[in-house]
Amino acid sequence: MSQLEYIIQQIINAVSLGSLYALVAVGLSIVFGVLKLTNFAHGDVMMVGAFTTVLLIGIGMPFAPAMLCGILASAVAGFLIERIAYRPIRNAPDVTRLLTSLAVTYILENLGILLFTSSPRNFPLPDILNTSWQLSGGAITFTNINVLTVALTFVSLIGLGWFITRTTIGLGMRAAAEDMQAAQLVGLNVNKVIIIAFIVASAYAGLAGVLWAAQAGVVQPQMGFTPLLKAFVAAIIGGFGSISGALLGGYMLGALEIFIVAFMPDVVVPYRDAIVFALLIAFLLFRPGGLMQPNREIKL
Amino acid sequence: MATADPLLRVDNLEVNFGAVRALKGVSLDVREGEVIALVGANGAGKSTTLRSISGLARAKSGTVTFAGTVINKRTAPQIVRLGIAHSPEGRRLFGGLSVAENLRLGACTRSDPDGVARDTEKMFVLFPILRERWKQLAGTLSGGEQQQLALARALMAAPRLLLLDEPSLGVAPLLVRHIFDALAELKRQGMTMLLVEQNIALALELADRAYVLRTGKVALSGIASELRVDDRVAQAYLGAAE
Ligand SMILES: Nc1ncnc2c1ncn2[C@@H]1O[C@H](COP(=O)(O)OP(=O)(O)O)[C@@H](O)[C@H]1O
Ligand SMILES: [Mg+2]
C-alpha cells in the first residue's frame, strides 16, 4: 500500500466522520442561534430517530421509508420538547434553561431505557449498504453506508443553505439569532421562527441519529451522549450559533480525530480525546467565538 | 376631513424600568401626513416613547391609539401589521445578512410581491447606495450606509406611520444632509413620521410640529418654525442637565 493510497483512505474516513459531526453540530447550532440555549436533548432526539427506524425495519419496513419516519419522529419530538419544556421558560434565567435542557435529556433517556432496556440493539442495515468498495486492489475501502452518509449530509446541507438564504422564515431564523428584538420589530412572528428552527434542527438530529447508528451498527438509549459531546466541540471550534461554523467545525473535528490516529506516533494515539478536549479548552480561552466569529463572547 | 382624529394618539403614557420612571405621563398626537419631531436631552424618554408605541416597551398606564385602535397591549409584530414601522436607535440591522436580505425581512409582513418589488425600486431612488451594496453584508457598511438601510428596511413594511430614532446618530455630517434630504422627500410624498433627533436644528427644519421632552414629561410643544426661535427649547435641554 502506497503512502498516497493511505492518505486518500484517511481523507475518506475523515470526510465520513466529519459529515456525522457536522450534521449534529448544525442542528445544535440552529437551536443555539434562536434560543441561546445549549440543547442537551439534541442527542436524545437523535436517539428517537434511530430507534424509530430500527423498530420500523424490525416490522418489515424497507430502510429508506423507515429512515424517513425516523426523521419525522425526531422532528415531532423536537416540536414537543419546544412546546412543553422550553417555551414556558423562554425568558427564565440561563441556569434554569440549562437545567431544563438537562432534565429533558434525563427524561428521554430513561424513557428509552424503560421501553427498550439499556442494552444495545443491533441496527439491521440492509446488505446493499454494507457492501464495500475496494479500490487500488483493496488499499482503499469504504462501504455504501459511508457513501450514503456523505451524500445525505451534502444534500441536506445544500437544502439547509437554500432554506436559510431563500425563504422568509429561514432568513428570519438568522435574523432572530442575531437580534431577537429587531426581528420582532420588522414583524417576524418569533414563536413561529423558533418552533420551525426546532423542527428543522430536530429533523437533522434524526437524520444524524439514523446514520450514526447505522455506522455503529447498534442503537441504545444513551447513544446520543457521544455525538452531543462531539458536536458541542465542533460547534465551539466553528463558532457557536453559526451554521457555517458548525459545518466547518464538524469536518475539522472529524479530520483531526482521524489524522491523529493515522499520522501521529503510536504513543500519542491513546490521547486522541485528550488532545481534542485540550483544543476545545484552548478555543474557549483564546477564541471563544470560534473560527467564524472571532470577536464574539460565548454564552452557554 | 377637517376634524379627523389623529392617526396616532399617545395619552398620558407612563413607563417604569424598575425604580426608574422613564415616562411620567406623556401625551402627544400625530395627524396623517404630519412630521412630528420629538426632541429633548439625553435620557429624557424619547426612545422609550417610540418603543412603547411600537410594542417593545410596556406602559404601566396610559394608552396608545393608532387609527382608532388601542394598540398598547399588542405585540411588536402585530403593531407592524397595523401599519407602524420603527427604525430603532442604533439601527439594529441584521449585520450578518445582506442588504437585500435585510430589506426582504423589512417586508416580511406583506403578501403583495409586486408592491414589494415596486417599493424596493423606490428605495433605490431614495438611497442609491443600497443598489450598489445589494449583496454586501449589512455589518460591513459604513455608519451612514447602515442608517440608510435601517430607514429603507422600516419603509419596506409600507407603513402608515414611520417612527425614526436618531437617524443622524453615528453618521458622517455629509451623509446626515443626504439622509435628511431623503426624509424631506418622504414628507413630500405624504409619509407620516414621528422623528426623534438630537440635532434640534435639523429636526425642527423638517418637522411641522414638535414636542420637547424633559425627564419623562412634555415640557413644551408647538409649531416647529416657532419653536426654532423659542429660547425655552434650549432651556428645556439645560434644565435636564442640572
Ligand atoms: N431598558 C432600560 N432599563 C432601565 N432603564 C432604562 C431602560 N431604557 C431606558 N431607561 C431609562 O429611561 C430613561 C429614558 O431613556 P430613553 O428613553 O432612552 O431616553 P432618550 O432616548 O431620550 O435618550 C433614562 O433614564 C434611561 O436610563
Ligand atoms: Mg434615545
Grid coordinates given for B166: 436618531
CA distance readout (Å), B70 to A135, B86, B169: 73, 18, 31
Give the per-residue pLDDT at A178.
Answer: 93
Q: Which residue has the higher pLDDT, B31 or A283?
A: B31
DSSP conformation letters of A37-58 = ---TTHHHHHHHHHHHHHHHHH
A276 vs A32, A232, A280, A281, CA distance in Å?
22, 12, 6, 9
pLDDT of the residue at A297: 47
CATH of the domain at A69: 1.10.3470
Instruction: Say if A249 falls within a structural domain.
Output: yes
Per residue of chain B (242 residues), what is the pLDDT tens digit?
445 789 999 999 999 999 999 999 999 999 999 999 999 999 999 999 999 999 999 999 999 999 999 999 999 999 999 999 999 999 999 999 999 999 999 999 999 999 999 999 999 999 999 999 999 999 999 999 999 999 999 999 999 999 999 999 999 999 999 999 999 999 999 999 999 998 899 999 999 999 999 999 999 999 999 998 888 887 777 654 44
Looking from the CA of residue B42, the nearest atom of ligand 1 is 23
Whether B72 is in the pocket of ligand 1, judged by its Cβ within 6 Å, is no
Question: What residue owns the CA closest to ligand 1's atom 25?
Answer: B43
Alpha-carbon gap: B157 to the closest alpha carbon of chain A (Å): 8
**Distances from the Cα of A263 to the Cαs of A2, A7, A267, in angstroms?**
14, 9, 11
In a domain, A201, yes or no: yes
Residue A300 placed within a domain: no
Identify which of A165, A175, A184 has the shortest CB distance to residue B76.
Answer: A184
C-alpha A215, offset from chain centre: 14
What is the pLDDT, as a whole number, of residue B180?
97
Within a domain: A292: no
pLDDT in the model for residue A65? 98
Q: A264 or B110: whose pLDDT is higher?
A: B110
Give pLDDT, residue B140.
95
Contact A186 B105 (CB under 8 A): yes
Residue A273 forms part of a structural domain: yes
Is residue A170 a part of any domain in this protein? yes
Task: Report residue B69: phi and psi, to 5°.
Answer: -110, 135
Q: What is the pLDDT of residue A300?
A: 43
Expressed as residue numbers, the domain containing A33 is: 3-126+135-286
Contacts A168 to B, Cβ<8 Å: 104-105, 108
The tally of domains found in chain A comes to 1
Query: Is A165's Cβ below 8 Å from some Cβ in B?
Result: yes
Interval A248-252 mean pLDDT: 95
Residue A66, in any domain of the structure:
yes
Shortest Cα–Cα distance, B238 to chain A (Å): 33
The rounded Å distance from CA B205 to ligand 2 centre is 20
For A170-185, what is each residue's pLDDT tens digit? 999 999 999 999 999 9
A179: contact with B, CB 8 A cutoff: yes
Which pLDDT does position B160 carry in this prediction?
98
What is the Cα–Cα distance from B81 to A279, expressed in whole angstroms?
48
pLDDT tens-place string over residues A100-125: 999 999 999 999 999 999 999 999 99
Q: What are the pLDDT digits (tens) for A188-228? A: 999 999 999 999 999 999 999 999 999 999 999 999 999 99
pLDDT at residue A299 is higher than 60 = no
Q: What would the pLDDT profile of A54-77 be if each residue is shown by its tens digit?
A: 999 999 999 999 999 999 999 999
pLDDT digits (tens, 9 = 90+) for A2-48: 889 999 999 999 999 999 999 999 999 999 999 999 999 999 999 99
- Supply the pLDDT for residue A291: 79
* C-alpha cell, B152: 429603507
Cα→Cα distances B106→A98, A126, B103, B153, B190, Å:
33, 49, 5, 5, 20
List domains and CATH numbers for chain B. 8-238 (3.40.50.300)
Cβ-defined contact of A182 to B109 (cutoff 8 Å): no
Contacts of A176 in chain B (CB under 8 A): none
Give me the amino acid identity at A75: A
Using a CB-CB cut-off of 8 Å, the residues of chain B touching A165 are 101
User: What predicted TM-score, i.e. pTM, was given to this entire model?
Assistant: 0.91
What pLDDT, on the 0 to 100 scale, is given for residue A283? 86
Let me know if residue A295 belongs to a domain.
no
Whether residue B157 and residue A187 make contact (CB cut-off 8 A), yes or no, is yes
